[in-house]
Amino acid sequence: MPVNQVFDYLPRKSDKTYELSFRIIRFPIGSNSYEIIITNLDRNIFDVKKIKEIYHLRWGIMQISA
């Protein structure tokens, strides 16, 4: 998703909106397949390795590459 992506369905100056920060993580889950995770988890606590571990707990039937 481009950094300058516009979501025109949200009013710019509405009192009901606020900023959110997200990060996008991409990691292999097979020889030719990847998983893309969008999260707001703190990167200082949840690095990519930890996100992969959490993903594996939720979707344990898939083998995640290291």
Residues 32-57 have pLDDT tens digits of 988 899 999 999 999 999 988 888 78
pTM over 0.85: no
Count of domains in the chain? 1
Cβ-count burial 19-35 (b if 16+ within 10 Å, e if not): eeeeeebebebeeeeeb
The pLDDT value recorded for residue 27 is 87
Residue-range definition of the domain harbouring residue 34:
23-58
Domain membership flag for residue 15: no
Domain membership flag for residue 31: yes
User: Model confidence over 11-39: pLDDT tens digits?
Assistant: 667 777 677 889 999 988 888 988 899 99
Q: Is 42 exposed, middle or buried (0-12, 13-18, 19+ CB in 10 A)?
A: exposed
Domain membership flag for residue 38: yes
Domain membership flag for residue 37: yes
Domain membership flag for residue 17: no
